[in-house]
Chain A
Amino acid sequence: MSYGDNITAVEHVGEHLQIEAHSEPDRVVLELHGELDLLGAPSLEEAIEGVEAGTPSIIVLDLQDLQFVDSAGLRVILSAHERSLNGDWSFALTRGTEQVQRLFTIAGVDDHLRIIDSPDELFG
Chain B
Amino acid sequence: MGTRGTESTSVKAEPIGDVAASVLIDAGAVLASSLDPTTTMVQVARLTVPRIADLCVIDLRDEDGSIRDVAVVATQERIARDLEKLRESYPLNPDGQHPVARVIASGEPMLLSEMTDALLSSFAQGSKHAEFMIKHDYRSAAVAPLRARNRTLGALSLLRLGDGVRYGKEDMELACELARRAALAIDNARLFSDLRRAEQRLEAVLVNLAEAITVVDEGGHTIFANQAAADLLNVNSPEDLMGAPPGTIMPRFLVFDEQGRELDLEHMPGRRLFAGEQPEPLLVRNVVRASGEERWIIVRASPVTDPETGQMLYAVNVFENITAVKRVQLAESFMAGASRVLASSLDYNETLRRVARLTVPTMASWCAVDLLNEQGEIERVAVHHPDPAMMELAERLNRDYRLSPDEPAGVPEVIRTGEARVYTDIPPDALAQYARDNKHLELLSAIGATAVILVPMIGAAGTIGAITLVSSGEDRRLSHDDLPLAERLARRAGTAVENARLYTERTRIAHTLQKALLPESLPEIPGVEVAARYCAAGELNDVGGDFYDVFEQGENRYWMLVIGDVCGKGPRAAGVTALARHTLRAAAMSEQSPAEMLATLHRALRRQPVGADLCTVCLVAMDRSARHTRLTVALAGHPPPLLLSADGEASLIGEHGTLLGVLDPIEVGLTRVELQPGDTLLLYTDGLPDAGGAGVQLGERAMIEMCRKAPRASLKGMLAHIEREAVEYAEGSLRDDLALLGIRVHIDELRR
Which single member of A79, A99, A108 contacts B699 (CB below 8 Å)? Answer: A99
Closest to A16 in B: B694
Residues on the B chain within 8 Å of A103, using CB: 686
The reply to whether B567 and A75 contact each other, CB–CB distance below 8 Å, is: yes
Q: Is there a chain B Cβ closer than 8 Å to A91's Cβ? A: no
Residues on the B chain within 8 Å of A68, using CB: 690, 695, 697
Would you list which residues of chain B between 666 and 687 have a CB under 8 Å from chain A? 666-667, 669, 686
Q: Is there a chain B Cβ closer than 8 Å to A9's Cβ? A: no
Q: Is there a chain B Cβ closer than 8 Å to A64's Cβ? A: no
Q: Is there a chain B Cβ closer than 8 Å to A70's Cβ? A: yes
A71-B686, A105-B656 as given contacts; A78 in contact with B662, CB under 8 Å: yes
- A103 to B: closest C-beta gap in Å: 8
Q: Is there a chain B Cβ closer than 8 Å to A38's Cβ? A: yes
Residues on the B chain within 8 Å of A79, using CB: 611-612, 662
Instruction: Classify chain A's interface size.
Output: 20 to 34
Which single member of B612, B658, B666, B667 contacts A82 (CB below 8 Å)? Answer: B612
Residues on the A chain within 8 Å of B639, using CB: 106
- A87 to B: closest C-beta gap in Å: 15
Q: Is there a chain B Cβ closer than 8 Å to A107's Cβ? A: yes
Q: Is there a chain A Cβ closer than 8 Å to B92's Cβ? A: no
The reply to whether A108 and B694 contact each other, CB–CB distance below 8 Å, is: no
- B606 to A: closest C-beta gap in Å: 11
Which single member of B636, B666, B669, B686 contacts A70 (CB below 8 Å)? Answer: B686
Would you list which residues of chain A between 62 and 106 have a CB under 8 Å from chain B? 67-68, 70-72, 74-75, 78-79, 81-82, 99, 102-103, 105-106
The reply to whether B638 and A106 contact each other, CB–CB distance below 8 Å, is: yes
Residues on the B chain within 8 Å of A38, using CB: 568-569, 735-736
Q: Is there a chain A Cβ closer than 8 Å to B706's Cβ? A: no
Would you list which residues of chain B between 630 and 676 have a CB under 8 Å from chain A? 635-640, 656-659, 662-663, 666-667, 669
Residues on the A chain within 8 Å of B611, using CB: 79
Residues on the A chain within 8 Å of B658, using CB: 107-109, 112
A37-B736, A70-B686, A79-B612 as given contacts; A108 in contact with B636, CB under 8 Å: yes
Q: How many A-B residue pairs lie within 8 Å, measured between CB atoms? A: 81
The reply to whether B656 and A108 contact each other, CB–CB distance below 8 Å, is: yes
Most buried by A among B567, B638, B639: B567
Q: Is there a chain B Cβ closer than 8 Å to A15's Cβ? A: yes
Closest to B657 in A: A108
Would you list which residues of chain A between 24 and 40 have a CB under 8 Å from chain B? 34-35, 37-38
A49 to B635, CA, bound (A): 31
A16 to B669, CA, bound (A): 33
The reply to whether B700 and A102 contact each other, CB–CB distance below 8 Å, is: yes
The reply to whether B686 and A108 contact each other, CB–CB distance below 8 Å, is: no
A109 to B616, CA, bound (A): 12
A15 to B658, CA, bound (A): 31
The reply to whether B656 and A78 contact each other, CB–CB distance below 8 Å, is: no
Residues on the B chain within 8 Å of A34, using CB: 694-695
The reply to whether B690 and A106 contact each other, CB–CB distance below 8 Å, is: no
Closest to A102 in B: B700
Residues on the A chain within 8 Å of B667, using CB: 108
The reply to whether B666 and A72 contact each other, CB–CB distance below 8 Å, is: no
A109 to B662, CA, bound (A): 10
A103 to B636, CA, bound (A): 12
A38-B735, A68-B697, A99-B699 as given contacts; A108 in contact with B567, CB under 8 Å: no
A86 to B285, CA, bound (A): 72
Most buried by B among A72, A79, A103, A105: A72
Residues on the A chain within 8 Å of B565, using CB: 71
Which single member of B640, B663, B700 contacts A112 (CB below 8 Å)? Answer: B663
The reply to whether A70 and B735 contact each other, CB–CB distance below 8 Å, is: yes
The reply to whether B695 and A74 contact each other, CB–CB distance below 8 Å, is: no
Most buried by B among A68, A78, A108: A108
The reply to whether B735 and A106 contact each other, CB–CB distance below 8 Å, is: no
Which single member of A74, A102, A106 contacts B614 (CB below 8 Å)? Answer: A74
Which single member of B612, B637, B697 contacts A99 (CB below 8 Å)? Answer: B697
Closest to B636 in A: A108
The reply to whether B612 and A78 contact each other, CB–CB distance below 8 Å, is: yes
A70-B735, A71-B567 as given contacts; A82 in contact with B694, CB under 8 Å: no
Closest to A37 in B: B735
Residues on the A chain within 8 Å of B638, using CB: 106
The reply to whether A35 and B695 contact each other, CB–CB distance below 8 Å, is: yes
Most buried by B among A15, A70, A71: A71
The reply to whether B616 and A107 contact each other, CB–CB distance below 8 Å, is: yes
Which single member of B614, B656, B697, B699 contacts A71 (CB below 8 Å)? Answer: B614
- B639 to A: closest C-beta gap in Å: 5
CB-defined interface of B680-722 with A at 8 Å, one 1/0 digit per residue? 0000001000100011010110000000000000000000000
Residues on the A chain within 8 Å of B700, using CB: 102
Closest to B695 in A: A67
A34 to B318, CA, bound (A): 58
- A84 to B: closest C-beta gap in Å: 13
A111 to B640, CA, bound (A): 18
A68 to B686, CA, bound (A): 12
Closest to B690 in A: A70
CB-defined interface of B582-625 with A at 8 Å, one 1/0 digit per residue? 00000000000000000000000000000110101000000000
A75 to B569, CA, bound (A): 13
A105 to B616, CA, bound (A): 12
A74 to B660, CA, bound (A): 12
A109 to B664, CA, bound (A): 10
A74 to B568, CA, bound (A): 11
Closest to B668 in A: A108
Most buried by B among A34, A103, A106, A109: A106
A50 to B567, CA, bound (A): 23
A15 to B735, CA, bound (A): 14
A37 to B699, CA, bound (A): 15
A103 to B699, CA, bound (A): 11
The reply to whether A75 and B657 contact each other, CB–CB distance below 8 Å, is: no
The reply to whether A109 and B735 contact each other, CB–CB distance below 8 Å, is: no
A78 to B690, CA, bound (A): 20
A109 to B635, CA, bound (A): 13
The reply to whether B568 and A72 contact each other, CB–CB distance below 8 Å, is: yes
The reply to whether B697 and A78 contact each other, CB–CB distance below 8 Å, is: no
A82 to B694, CA, bound (A): 29
The reply to whether B656 and A106 contact each other, CB–CB distance below 8 Å, is: yes
The reply to whether B616 and A71 contact each other, CB–CB distance below 8 Å, is: yes
A91 to B565, CA, bound (A): 26
A72 to B694, CA, bound (A): 16
Residues on the B chain within 8 Å of A15, using CB: 694
- B575 to A: closest C-beta gap in Å: 15
Closest to A68 in B: B697
Most buried by A among B569, B614, B640: B614
Residues on the B chain within 8 Å of A82, using CB: 612, 662-663
Q: Which residues of B contact A (CB under 8 A)?
A: 565, 567-569, 611-612, 614, 616, 635-640, 656-659, 662-663, 666-667, 669, 686, 690, 694-695, 697, 699-700, 735-736
14 residue pairs bridging A and B, Cβ less than 8 Å apart: A34-B695, A37-B736, A68-B690, A70-B686, A71-B614, A72-B568, A75-B567, A75-B612, A75-B614, A75-B662, A78-B663, A82-B663, A108-B656, A108-B659
Closest 5 pairs between A and B when the two form their complex, measured CB to CB: A108-B658, A107-B637, A75-B567, A107-B659, A71-B567
- Known contacts A78-B662, A78-B663; 5 further A-B pairs (Cβ under 8 A): A68-B690, A70-B690, A71-B614, A71-B686, A72-B567
